[in-house]
Structure 1
Amino acid sequence: MPIDAEKALAAEPRTSKISWDHKDVQLYHLGIGAGARPDLADPAVDPGELRYTLESGLQVLPSFATVAGAGLGMAGLSSPGIDVDLAAVLHGGQSVRVHRPLPTEGSVVQTSKVAAVYDKVKAAVLVLRTEAADEDGPLWTSDSEIFVRGEGGFGGERGPSGRTAYPAVAPDHIVERPIRPDQALLYRLSGDWNPLHADPGFAALAGFDRPILHGLCTYGMTLKAVTDTVLDGDVTRIRSYRTRFAGVVFPGETLRIEMWTEANQVRVEVRAVERDNAMVLGDTFVEHS
């Protein structure tokens, strides 16, 4: 069997040292749309966008953890006990918890392991966990939920569903964020070189009529929108952020980001406006101070 759950869970964690500087942070922020406010009548850059793009006063969105070191946390797919066809792999969900604000320049030891293997009958779900720490202690913990089609049915635990009921009241905030036609080409410079997001021929082989946007780009764009709308642009208030990838996004589309505010939490749903508000991110929560 391509997935040996017992062997995968017992494997020794993999460690690597990664580092970044302000240019990596700025490139990531530009890749998720920072610096562009087409909703403003004045074409000048909104001063609020400079906290994401200008090295003086630069802050770091916690979602940067997913690309730090070119996203090496996904290396868990090559762990002992896992031998899967990458064409059958889907990114089902993502979460990150920050233990303190991320610095604009840093060097950390990153530890990656398979934290869980779930049996969904028609698919297996791998939870790949990455923990990063520097000389001052833990910095972030990130989980990637990976669906592997056709690898279920081995008799393992089904695991949590992760789905919650849709809110029965209207959103407290709704914002729309346009996706530039070249957004995927810019975002991929942060380390995800999958040709699915750039090469029309490869996208066609995967069943799409054109390249799709990285799910983690939508993930970052959404966190930025919540931060700017609800948290006064203060990234240091963010404690954790999780989502379920519910559908694809194409460059050139518009994201409709709906937010429900609760005590120390924002519930979010994200839809693609041009495709009848098709859901693209569901069960999304930002915990904050």
Structure 2
Amino acid sequence: MNLEAVRNFRFEPVTQSYTRRDTMLYALGLGFGSDPLDPAQLDFVYEANLKAVPSICCVLAHPGFWAKRPELGIDWLKLLHGEQHFEIHAPMPAEGTVRASYEIVSVADKGAGKGAILHLVKTLDDAISGLKLATVHSVPFLRGDGGCGSFGNVPAEPTALPEQAPSQTQDIATLPQSALIYRLSGDYNPIHADPDAAARAGFDRPILHGLCTLGIATRAVVATLADGRPERLLSLSARFSRPVFPGETIRTEFLSVGGQIRFRSRVIERDVVVLDRGTAVLRD
């Protein structure tokens, strides 16, 4: 990695118009509508009273695969999505035009052979009114770029969850075609669709998008703790720990720790944790 090129890299703002159809398609990718008689699910996939899932802020106005730019020198084949955090400043509209600005705020060098952690912040505004909608913090793990140096103020790592039984759980099944639906919201990485591409990345079949797993956890938080009201969710963060294969069932486990809402998500069929160190903040 060329550290100075990464430090000085500037993104062009990204503007995207999206429709109610896009909002419904995103929710369908998260499995909403699996019970067509459940009005709490229908509100996210039917135009009569359409609501946006808050985590849609993570996929709107995507900057493209910027890490592949040759001047940055990033070993992009070894890049993994490590963590994700979003903060909602105003309820996400069901349709509209948004403008995103991006900034690489820091790189933390773990040492030669150990990789580096990059912190990327997206600010998402309503392009018409200028209203600030969300701040999205993505943390890629650059496995091949250790020993290149650090810069910026590195945020503290999320704290580990205590060893205690969850107070509540929510199970959400994915479909064998879930990744094929979710990719239509903008992430066309072939490892989520093409078995050959997945095999080259070390998987025996295509995997579910990490941000789809995060969206399913967001769905679980809203349904279980926010009475189905997405406007109550102020922020959510989690660490990606294992991949999910389409067709598996994701169980999100909630713990109350010092007044905080903490959570993890695990795949029931393999009993492996796929999201860890999660935290959600709700409005009363």
Q: TM-score, normalised by structure 1?
A: 0.89
* Structure 1 unpaired stretches of 5+: 38-43
Q: Tell me what 2:134 maps to.
A: 140
Q: Which secondary structure state, in structure 1, belongs to the residue aligned with residue 47 of structure 2?
A: coil
Aligned position for 1:93? 83
Please report how far the alpha carbon of residue 236 of structure 1 lies from its aligned counterpart in structure 2 after TM superposition. 0.5
- Structure 1 match to 2:253: 258
Structure 2 match to 1:57: 49
Counterpart CA distance in 1 for 2:60 and 2:149 is 35
| Cα separation, partners in 2 of 1:68 and 1:160, compared to 1, 3 Å | closer
Q: 1:102 aligns to what?
A: 92
Kindly tell me the number of residue pairs found equivalent between the two proteins.
Answer: 278
- Match for 1:113 among 103, 115, 129? 103
Q: Which residue of 1 aligns with 2:117?
A: 125
Gaps of 5+ in 2: none
Identity of matched residues, %: 38
Q: 2:106, 2:118 within 8 Å by CA — same for their partners in 1?
A: yes
Pairs within 5 Å for 1:226-265: 226-261=221-256, 265=260
Q: Is 1:282 matched with 2:282?
A: no
In structure 1, how many angstroms separate the alpha carbons of the residues matched to 2:17 and 2:137?
20
SS class of match (1:53): coil
**Aligned CA distance change for structure 1 residues 220 and 188 (closer, same or farther; 3 Å):** same
| 1:210-235 Cα shifts (integer Å, max 9, x gaps) | 11110011000111011001100010
Letter in 2 for 1:3: N
Q: Which amino acid in structure 1 is aligned with residue 6 of structure 2? A: A
1:14 counterpart SS class: coil
Deviation at 1:76, TM superposition (A): 4.4
Partner of 1:11: 9
> Structure 1, residues 177-196: CA drift from partner, whole Å, max 9, x if none?
11111100111111111110
Which residue in the other structure is 1:68 paired with? 60
Distance 2:116 2:75 in 1: 12
Contact 2:108 2:149 (C-alpha < 8 Å) held by counterparts: no
**Could you give the per-residue CA deviations for residues 8-28 of structure 1, whole angstroms, max 9, x where no partner exists?**
233334212111111110000
Greater shift in the superposed pair: 74-83 or 189-198: 74-83
**Aligned partner of 1:285: which letter?**
T
CA distance in 1, matches of 2:195, 2:65: 26
- CA distances 1:38-87 after superposition (whole Å, capped 9, x unpaired): xxxxxx43111111111121111221011113x33x55425796222321
After superposition, give the CA deviation of every residue in 1:147-206 in whole Å (9 maximum; x if it has no partner): 111211234269456242322432110121111111001111111111101111111111
Counterparts of residues 77-226 of structure 1 (less than 5 Å): 77=67, 82-121=72-111, 122-134=114-126, 135-156=129-150, 159-160=154-155, 162-226=157-221
In structure 2, how many angstroms separate the alpha carbons of the residues matched to 1:286 and 1:222?
10
Residues 161, 80 of structure 1: CA spacing in aligned structure 2 closer, same or farther, 3 A cutoff?
A: farther
Aligned to 2:37: 45
Distance 1:133 1:79 in 2: 26
- Please report how far the alpha carbon of residue 269 of structure 1 lies from its aligned counterpart in structure 2 after TM superposition: 0.5
**Separation in structure 1 between the aligned mates of residue 133 and residue 155 of structure 2, nearest angstrom:** 26
TM-score by length of 2: 0.91
RMSD across aligned C-alpha pairs, in angstroms? 2.0
How far 1:143 sits from its partner (Å)? 1.2
